[in-house]
A and B are shown apart, each in its own frame.
Chain A
Amino acid sequence: MTMMTHPHADTLTARFYRATRVIHWRNWTVMVLLGIGAVFMLLPFMWTFSTSLRPISEAYRLPPSFLPDRLDFSSYARLEDGPIPFLTMYWNSFVVAAVTTVVVIFTSAMAAFAFSRLRFPGSNVLFASMLVGLMVPPALVLIPLFFGMAAVGLIDTLWSLILPALANPLAVLMMREFMRSQPREYEESAFVDGASYWTIFWRISLPQMGPPIAALSIIVFTTSWNNFLLPLVFVRSFEAMTLPVGILSLFGSYGAEELSVILAAVTLSILPLLVVFLIAQRFIVESIASTGVKK
């Protein structure tokens, strides 16, 4: 492009290329700044990862080295022999997060369909009262919730972690706002075609909700995976424990001298989040690319 010659220096084309050079220069500045930010974000992860792969003595060496001299996976091996059933907790965390995510997305999509597409008396009042739930801090309902769970005998089970997370006003809000931004004609057309509400929801509305579903998958899965408060209060036995509290108790029994083992547990606990994020993010990009094509 820069090789392009033109008899008149100040043509629109020439001005356009000068303008793009300015944009390039600005882009580079932004890239460098973002790059520095990214390094600061990634350093703790790198340190965690590399420390999990070497003896603790190497980890505190000065000046710090971010790459271990040799790879040592013994910390990972020692996890399962340690004081906590790591794999059980890992599985528990996964079950709780996966069930919560699937159910929340499904129910909030149905609620969003009702709130944005069906006209029924009291729908606005119902929606507003549901939003009130957003204003209540989770810690506030912890004690009533505990007594409730105790009354139905669910304390110390995975259900005590799953059930409270299923009511998710934020998810309903996000889904509803997305649906409201979509044309109603799809549903109306299906209605005239004789489809039932369920068919309309399942075959017409839900397949179009890719972007909020992907975004919510990340949010709900991450929130559930990282949830510390509920397992701390509701779960006592290791059999129903999830990772956040489990890793803490690992820290309690090992202490700083076995940091490599703890960081190996932390590293493993990050992996599912990365997987969910990568899958969902790809889906977000795809669905934006497919709906963004305007004729």
Chain B
Amino acid sequence: MTHLELRNITKAFGGFEVIRGVDLAVNKGEFLVFVGPSGCGKSTMLRMIAGLETITGGQLVIDGAVMNDEAPVKRGVAMVFQSYALYPNMSVRQNLAFGLEQARMPKPEIRERVEAAAETLKITPLLDRRPGALSGGQSQRVAIGRAIVRDPDLFLFDEPLSNLDAELRVHMRVELKALHARLGRTMIYVTHDQTEAMTMADRIVVFRDGQIEQIGSPLELYNSPVNRFVAGFIGSPQMNFLPLHRNARGRLQVDGGAELDLDPPASGDAILGLRPELAELCEPGAGFLDGRILTVEHLGGESFIHLQPADHGAEPLVIKVIGQTTARAGDLAGVTAPMHQVYLFDAATDRCLMSPTQPSPLTATPRRLASAP
């Protein structure tokens, strides 16, 4: 069931369009993540849903009613800000109660709700403290508490974990996901961190330049990105991109490397997309590209090998190896990969021409390679 619908939403700041026609339907109870690089419009989109920014064009529909000009309260939203925005002059208890007081809820009910929310988030001992006396993680919990105490239909999170240290971030990620499962409410979560997006989302919406590039489940985006931008954004470390050219035999060949054993698209040049975890090191000359190892990052359980292709203009490649490696900086090595696991992008349009979920291009039956969006 659709909870929230964006119909051709646009937003302009003084003639400059930051949101350029966004269409999106959010299901009831869904955990949706807006992801994209900074300045892509994802936060603006969230603030428009919250009612903090006016909507220049299009319709914002919540539960079937157009809400373009309604106050945030009427929209049934609560928002958690990146900076937490805990009122510094009020205790945690007063912070939690503030929204309920605005709704003119009776005092006993407010106390009950505040205490229940504090219990849920394990912040009961902090209720009489001021925000200044809280740690980052505690402030984060209070900020979330201030949202859940109002029991809204729609939660909006604007990069809520970006001010926490790495360990706490992982912890809060799990807790937020558990909270979502418990409350069953619709949540829209903005982040620029693709790991957060991948781990938390039911569906991810990838934004670029004020437009939606792709919507899908985390694995859909990982397996079948519609273009090079989505492919590069989803997955960590980032996908490697190798420019290819069409050689005299009409086959695709890595610039400064060997010919690839796959069926080329009908025409034009292409770009090879190679996930770091699917690339492999081999003897120099045995793969489709040779290079010199720049650095090796040992993480213990896995290693990242940075390799500079012999063609010096090219970007260094990252190869992820499970476990530990004997490769050392300065070594010469070749790169190879199973051809049914690589991606192919159109060099001119960046569109994805081939991705691993599609039938292997090595099969005898010719298949349509293009996956037009």
Contacts and interface: CB of A to CB of B under 8 A. Distances in A.
Physical interaction between A and B: yes
Contact of A192 (B52, B82, B87, B135): B52
Interface stretch (A6-14, A132-140, A152-160, A181-189): A181-189
B52 A188 contact: yes
B77 interface: yes
A199 B78 CA distance: 18
Contacts of A88: none
Interface in B49-103: 50-52, 71-73, 77-79, 81-83, 85, 87-90, 98-99, 102-103
B179 to A, nearest CB: 19
B141 to A, nearest CB: 14
Given A185-B85, A207-B89, A208-B89, A192 B102 contact: no
B87 to A, nearest CB: 6
B132 interface: yes
A199 B79 CA distance: 18
A4 interface: no
A72 to B, nearest CB: 50
A194 B81 contact: no
Contacts of B139: 295
A195 interface: yes
Contacts of B51: 191-192
B150 A193 contact: yes
A291 interface: yes
B78 A192 contact: yes
Contacts of B88: 186, 207-208, 290-291
Contacts of A208: 88-89
Given A194-B99, A195-B98, A195-B102, A189 B79 contact: yes
Given A188-B52, A293-B132, A193 B98 contact: yes
Contacts of A167: none
Contacts of A189: 79, 81, 85, 87, 146
Contacts of B146: 189, 193
A192 B50 CA distance: 7
Interface residues of A, number: 21
Contacts of B77: 192
Contacts of A196: 102
Interface residues of B, number: 27
Contacts of B82: 185
Contacts of A186: 85, 87-88
B29 interface: no
Interface string A199-216: 100011001100000000
Contacts of A190: 87, 98
B52 A193 contact: no
A295 B136 contact: yes
B103 A194 contact: yes
Contacts of B78: 192-193
B85 A183 contact: yes
A193 B83 contact: no
A196 B101 CA distance: 12
B50 A193 contact: no
A192 B79 contact: yes
Interface in A165-181: none
B99 A185 contact: no
Contacts of A194: 71-73, 99, 102-103
B102 A193 contact: yes
Given A208-B88, A291-B88, A191 B72 contact: yes
Most chain A CB atoms below 10 A, which of B51, B81, B103: B81
Contacts of A188: 52, 79, 81, 85
Nearest to B75: A192
Contacts of A185: 81-83, 85
Count chain B CB atoms within 10 A of each CB in A186, A188, A194, A208 and give the residue with the most: A194
Among B72, B77, B87, B88, residue most surrounded by chain A Cβ atoms (within 10 Å): B87
Contact of B52 (A191, A195, A204): A191
A295 B150 contact: no
B90 to A, nearest CB: 8
Interface string B95-136: 000110011000000000000000000000000000010011
Contacts of B98: 190, 193, 195, 203
A290 to B, nearest CB: 6
Interface string A109-133: 0000000000000000000000000
Interface string B277-291: 000000000000000
Nearest to A196: B102
Nearest to A185: B85
Contact of B83 (A183, A192, A204): A183
Contacts of A192: 50-52, 72-73, 77-79
A11 to B, nearest CB: 31
Contacts of A191: 51-52, 72
Nearest to A119: B54
Contacts of A183: 83, 85
B67 to A, nearest CB: 14
Which residue, of A189, A195, A295, has the highest number of chain B Cβ atoms within 10 A?
A189
A190 B139 CA distance: 16
6 interchain residue pairs of minimum CB distance: A185-B85, A193-B99, A194-B73, A207-B89, A194-B102, A189-B85
14 contacts: A189-B85, A189-B146, A190-B87, A191-B51, A191-B52, A191-B72, A192-B52, A193-B78, A193-B150, A194-B71, A194-B103, A203-B87, A204-B87, A290-B132
Given A190-B87, A194-B72, 16 more contacts: A185-B83, A186-B85, A188-B79, A189-B146, A192-B50, A192-B52, A192-B72, A193-B72, A193-B73, A193-B98, A193-B102, A194-B103, A199-B102, A208-B89, A290-B88, A291-B88
